[in-house]
Amino acid sequence: MNGHEISEELVAFLDGALSVEDARRVEKHLERCPSCREILEDFRRTGQLLNRWTEIAPSPGFEPRVLTHIRASETRRPVSIGFGNLNRWFFGSPIRWSAVAAGIVLMAGAAYWIFPLSRNEDVLTEAEKDEMATHIDLYVDYGVISHLDTLKPMDATPPPQGDESSIINTA
Amino acid sequence: MAGQDLYRDDPDVESMLAFQKGDDQAFETLFRKYSRPLVNFSYRLIGNRGRAEEIAQEVFLEVHRAKSTYLPQAKFSTWIYRISTHRCWNELRRPERRLMAMQHRDPTGDEGDRAAVEPVAAGPDALQHLEAKQLQDAVADAVSSLPEQQRTALILCRYHAMGYREAAEAMETTESAVKSLMHRATVGLRDRLKSFL
Ligand SMILES: [Zn+2]
């Protein structure tokens, strides 16, 4: 037994993760073992090198985009029905199920028009709307726009009416 | 609740409990505190910036949905990193990812940040920038080439200041397993980065 097996404890030793007795045992071995001291030094420098991999910044608009997404999906989330009997009644008969489902669709449709304030645009603050306008391409890429009911598709840009297009058209 | 008392002094647990009581601002506080660290955690673990941001978003959605059921049983950071770890591991196990398993970091995924260390003109500064970039790439490649468990433990302990015990909780393993993973990870990195030591 030469004691070099403490080299397996050296990373934990550097991390201060050893018990007092174990740390003392490692220290004692290090005092008289240059090769383990060298390993310790390599481990220490390896740990320092890791700092060279610096953090990345999230992409522009990340925070408001995610907050918007979370609010939008929570607004749209169906409220679960906590009454076991109602669930059994509801799912027990396909006819009842379809009748109730149709009723819900009708009511939801009516509510959509009667309560316009509950739509997603009102979940956004003014600052967030500005932020979205600035990074609108990102929101499109991430599919956030699909959550925003009130954004109407833009009208297709009419073809240019200038002389050049007439020349092309008549050519 | 005993669990609640145990983590009462964690301000993030306080925020989560406040959110539970209807304080939406408390959720935003947590979001702003953790969004950047979580994006970086996922990015270092899976190597793709776009997916890292999506995973961070999924994690926060999960936190938001835990509003009514949340019961503190760990520090908030341990809990949120546990959720993130699971999602990243799932991502790494997706079959289409295995095909590109060795191509860890998406070269187009972090162009913005890489551009920041790109030399802008010739000269001693430019050389320094180039060296910094090469070293950063070497470190990133070395970490990325570690096996998944070693990489996870290393990222939690070295880039997120976790002790072995907290990392063990986040990875749902034992402290001695983390100790062993950290030893093997460090040996692996030392061997891969020998020319920079
Ligand atoms: Zn020795």
Q: Which of residues 45-84 of A touch B (CB under 8 A)?
A: 45-47, 49-50, 52-59, 62-63, 66-67, 69-70, 73-74
Please check whether residue A76 is in contact with residue A147, taking contact to mean a CB–CB distance below 8 angstroms. Answer: yes
Can you tell me the mean pLDDT for B123-151?
Answer: 93
Answer whether A46 sits within 8 Å of B61, measured CB to CB: no
Judged against a pLDDT cut of 90, whether residue B70 lies above it is answered with: yes
Q: Tens digits of per-residue pLDDT, B159-174?
A: 999 999 999 999 999 9
B73 contact A CB<8A: no
Percentage of chain B lying above the pLDDT 70 cut: 84
Residues from chain B that touch A8, judged by Cβ atoms under 8 A, are 183
CA of A31 to the centre of ligand 1 (A): 9
Tell me how far apart the alpha carbons of residues A158 and B186 are, in angstroms, rounded to a whole number: 63
- How would residue B156 be classed by pLDDT, with cut points 50, 70 and 90? very high
Q: Is B63 helix (H, G, I), strand (E, B) or coil?
A: helix
Residues 6+ apart with CB under 8 A from B102: B145
Token pair for B18: 């406040």
Please give the backbone phi and psi of residue A150, each rounded to the nearest 5 degrees, phi first. -85, -10
Put simply, whether A138 touches B (Cβ < 8 Å) is no
Length of chain B: 197
**Tell me, what's the pLDDT at B7?**
79
Give the pLDDT confidence score for residue A169 in this predicted structure.
Answer: 40
Indicate the angle between helix axes B76-93 and B11-20, nearest 10 degrees. 80
CATH of domain B2-112+120-196: 1.10.10.10
Spatial CB neighbours of B71, under 8 Å, sequence gap ≥ 6: B1, B3, B4
Task: State the pLDDT at residue A28.
Answer: 96
Å between B56 CA and nearest CA of chain A? 9
Grade residue B95 by pLDDT with cuts at 50, 70 and 90: confident
Checking if the pLDDT of A106 tops 80, the result is: no
| Residue B160 structure tokens | 């997120």
pLDDT in tens, B168-194: 999 999 999 999 999 999 999 999 999
Cβ B112–A57 below 8 Å, yes or no? yes
Question: What pLDDT, in 10s, does the model give residues B8-66?
Answer: 789 999 999 999 999 999 999 999 999 999 999 999 999 999 999 999 999 999 999 99
Confidence category of residue A159, pLDDT binned at 50, 70, 90: very low
Q: How sure is the predictor about A85, in pLDDT bands with cuts at 50, 70 and 90? A: very low
Chain-chain contact of A42 with B190 (C-beta, under 8 angstroms): yes
Shortest CA gap B165–chain A (Å): 9
- For chains A and B, CB pairs below 8 A equal 97
**Could you tell me which residue, A103 or A11, shows the higher pLDDT?**
A11
Distance between Cα A3 and ligand 1 center (Å): 6
Residue B107 falls in which region: left (phi positive, over 0), alpha (psi -120 to 50) or beta: alpha
- Output the pLDDT for position B8: 74
Question: How many Å lie between the centroid of ligand 1 and the Cα of residue A40?
Answer: 10
Are the C-beta atoms of residues B35 and B56 closer than 8 Å to each other?
yes
**Res A44 pLDDT > 70:** yes
Residue A86 to residue A116: CA distance in whole angstroms: 29
Tokens at A110, concatenated = 């009516």
φ/ψ of A60, rounded to 5, equals -55, 135
Count of C-beta atoms within a 10 Å radius of residue B149: 17
High-pLDDT (> 90) share of chain B, %: 76
Q: Chain B contacts of A62, Cβ < 8 Å?
A: 35, 39, 53
User: Which of B36, B60, B158 is closest, CB to CB, to A50?
Assistant: B158
**pLDDT over threshold 50, residue A158:** no
pLDDT digits (tens, 9 = 90+) for A12-42: 999 999 999 999 999 999 999 999 999 999 9
Are the beta carbons of B13 and B75 closer than 8 angstroms? yes
Interatomic CA distance for residues B95 and B105, integer angstroms: 17
Q: How far is B109 from chain A (nearest CA, A)?
A: 10
- What's the token pair of residue B50? 């776009």
Inter-chain contact B193–A56, Cβ cutoff 8 Å? Answer: no
Name the residue ranges covered by the structural domains of chain B: 2-112+120-196
CB contact under 8 A, B159 and A74: no
Q: The tokens 């489902």 sit on which residue?
A: A101
Which tokens in the block code for residue B98? Answer: 């295995």
Instruction: Note whether B53 contacts A57, CB cutoff 8 Å.
Output: no
